[in-house]
Structure 1
């Protein structure tokens, strides 16, 4: 950047429910209590226009929290060390701010390395521990009339679908509705409690000492747009070869997994793993209602030897992914019964790739009164887990792009060039290449 980007915060405070809410303690589900979810998921939500968005969204948040009052509470622990939600009504942290440039000047935040994230994310005043607050939000207006919401959301209380449901409710209140169209449902007791599985707090020093040290891989960030025409060509070829359909997710997950495996240059007999997360609301016995906003996902794993994965075509890799998806009900049933190894315990290895699909969570439908977001930007910023997020490119910069966006933080610097070459598909046989629309 050739200019000094700056943000001035005009107001910061807690936003509490607009009306009195129940003062109680709520239990979390076995999935909510996973130690790996004790974190904040950070995102940018970029909007091209708005009128006093900070004021409008603040008022809408207060109304939405009447219905989603657990989000205004705080994490606590039972005497047994189980995570719970104390519904205190203390509120969520909210800041209003203004930036000194237009969204166009910062490329609508398309570049993950634009040095803006610290200023666009909320930062509570001294004396407040941000880890205690379940939701933190900052609305930053830009000189062009657009705005960016910097959001931090505690994963222990919502998965992506649940967080998007809440934001859509806020949008409805901002547009003048008097009640959410989808009634929020807590119902954490509907999630199975597997025997032999105990997800207690990991905050005590004694427990921390038992955990192995976390890895740090110095993973590089890449943003890659892949044309839907290219994806469609692969899907057509897959149908001709197999007589079956495949999804965009399956195409991209297969392509990225194989290309990354080639790029990181492992021994041929080393095991590699692909992990992605499936919504299992339909597998819960009690048939969760539409308004359930808790965590309800299950990790699906695909495993192969590095040499085998490299040697097969993407068509065969898609088949591997499909087979793993077919086994989801069986594997979920094993977890419910407490059988086998715990699939929720992540394999923190450079040979494991985590893929997460964001394009269908519902964030792109949120409307505070001035239209849906130009784009939603997940912020990974982690050197612990190699990850690829499947999303959508900006909708209006300057014209809509029919493409899928890959936001990756999955290879170290020495593997970046090879990863790019393999994604282009120009350096090996048995593969279908993609012309990369943009590699930022």
Structure 2
């Protein structure tokens, strides 16, 4: 599997964007977001892509109509997604459940899946497969989701999404997509009924910051241009690894190499968050060390730093993070020289055409993020070999060093796409 070749071009014809409303009447009400949902670091649009092959069993079925109808029914259960975000006092976000709907674009491409490749991130033609409808990319008073279904000449199709991250994290949006797929295959209701309950992750009264949160220290925003690439690493065999390659990537520009880990805290709470909770249930424990110490020590040193940071993300840590958001005006994450990593889901969701050839993040990094963001996903390559796919986003200079280090550390066990 490989991302689209740089020289690949294709044409996409689109119909005018439309709004999909819930299939049945839904309540008109205000729903408050949690104090984790509305932090600055989550006020952006997140792109996803599901790519399906042709299925002989679905001959005569139109994926556009199947998905459009399923989304309308799903919005009956997830009706806040059909509303619009409003900002009230102290920058607090609420959803006005207006039933206005989510944006939907129907499209056709003059190419086959084989011609396009497997479309692994970074998807270079994402702007064609997920049209940025003018005025739709904001946070407030905008549709909370944009969907484009693009038919391919071979009978396959691309099911691309963009959603407002304040509404859901990776687990939450996976729950919604799964519901759409179940309804598309004929279910009357989702197997998991959505739960709002955002008050569980709202600040205590009075709020009290009881722990130090390195991920929320307001450092300067990174301004240098970012580069994107994809790395696939074979995990079927093991070789000794020395210092983390990103340490050398940062050594030339900073003495400190912070790493933020995205952690799902659904099970950290007592009691655990209810099944069906689809809001943001994530915190960012930080492992911080100097690049010099990372280079002097074996890889296990860095691993232990990360493990210690994650182990420190207790229930009290979560509550302190929530209170911090209120006390400090819902701050953003750290910026300069910070490496943010998340274990992203590979979406194996069947909309009727079988599991997707690829389903997951559309690229590393996010346009509104002034920092490096990478996602790790377990996936098989075109030879059927198990591996880890890593779409990486780093400053240009750091990317050059990282590529050189990876090639030294993983000879013959990795493939690296050209940086964009």
1:8 partnered with 2:13: yes
Cα displacement (A) at 1:28: 0.8
For structure 1, the residue ranges without an aligned partner over 5 or more in a row are: 199-210, 238-250, 427-432
Distance 1:94 1:391 in 2: 28
State the aligned residue count.
391
- DSSP 3-state at the match of 2:399: helix
- DSSP 3-state at the match of 1:282: coil
Distance 2:332 2:372 in 1: 15
Cα displacement (A) at 1:119: 1.1
1:438 is matched with 415
Moved over 4 A (4+): 126-131, 194-198, 211-214, 336-339, 341-344
1:346 is matched with 333
Contact 1:226 1:434 in 2 (8 A): no
- Residues 288-336 of structure 1 show CA distances to partners (whole Å, capped at 9, x for unaligned) of 1110000111101001111001111112221221111211115335435
Distance 1:367 1:113 in 2: 21
Cα displacement (A) at 1:183: 0.7
For residues 78-117 of structure 1, the aligned pairs below 5 Å read 78-79=88-89, 81-110=91-120, 112=122, 114=124, 116-117=125-126
Contact 2:251 2:292 in 1 (8 A): no
For residues 7-406 of structure 1, the aligned pairs below 5 Å read 7-49=12-54, 51-79=61-89, 81-110=91-120, 112=122, 114=124, 116-124=125-133, 131=139, 132-194=142-204, 195-196=206-207, 214-230=221-237, 233=238, 258-266=244-252, 270-329=255-314, 331-335=317-321, 345-349=332-336, 351-359=337-345, 363-375=346-358, 376-379=360-363, 380-382=365-367, 384-393=370-379, 398-406=382-390
- DSSP 3-state at the match of 1:264: helix
Distance 2:135 2:320 in 1: 45
Cα displacement (A) at 1:216: 2.3
Distance 2:376 2:269 in 1: 26
- Residues 54-84 of structure 1 show CA distances to partners (whole Å, capped at 9, x for unaligned) of 1100000000000000000000123554210
- DSSP 3-state at the match of 2:117: helix
1:205 is matched with none
- DSSP 3-state at the match of 2:17: strand
Contact 1:264 1:411 in 2 (8 A): no
2:212 is matched with none
Q: 1:325 to 1:95 in 2, by over 3 A?
A: same
Cα displacement (A) at 1:214: 4.2
Cα displacement (A) at 1:152: 0.6
Contact 1:298 1:344 in 2 (8 A): no
Cα displacement (A) at 1:196: 4.6
Q: 1:381 to 1:130 in 2, by over 3 A?
A: closer
Distance 1:315 1:425 in 2: 18
Cα RMSD (Å): 2.9
Contact 1:191 1:284 in 2 (8 A): no
Contact 1:73 1:134 in 2 (8 A): yes
- Residues 222-263 of structure 1 show CA distances to partners (whole Å, capped at 9, x for unaligned) of 111000114xx26xx7xxxxxxxxxxxxx9xx97xx211202
Cα displacement (A) at 1:217: 2.0
Aligned match of 2:395 in 411, 416, 421?
411
Contact 2:208 2:323 in 1 (8 A): no
Cα displacement (A) at 1:370: 1.1
Question: What is the TM-score of this pair, normalised by structure 2?
Answer: 0.85
Distance 2:91 2:400 in 1: 46
Q: Which moved more, 1:211-220 or 1:49-58?
A: 211-220
Contact 2:234 2:386 in 1 (8 A): yes
Q: Which moved more, 1:89-98 or 1:314-323?
A: 314-323
Q: 1:354 to 1:344 in 2, by over 3 A?
A: farther
Contact 1:190 1:284 in 2 (8 A): no
Distance 2:123 2:22 in 1: 36
Distance 1:130 1:305 in 2: 37
- DSSP 3-state at the match of 1:281: coil
Q: 1:123 to 1:99 in 2, by over 3 A?
A: same
Distance 1:123 1:184 in 2: 28
Contact 1:43 1:151 in 2 (8 A): yes
Distance 2:25 2:403 in 1: 54
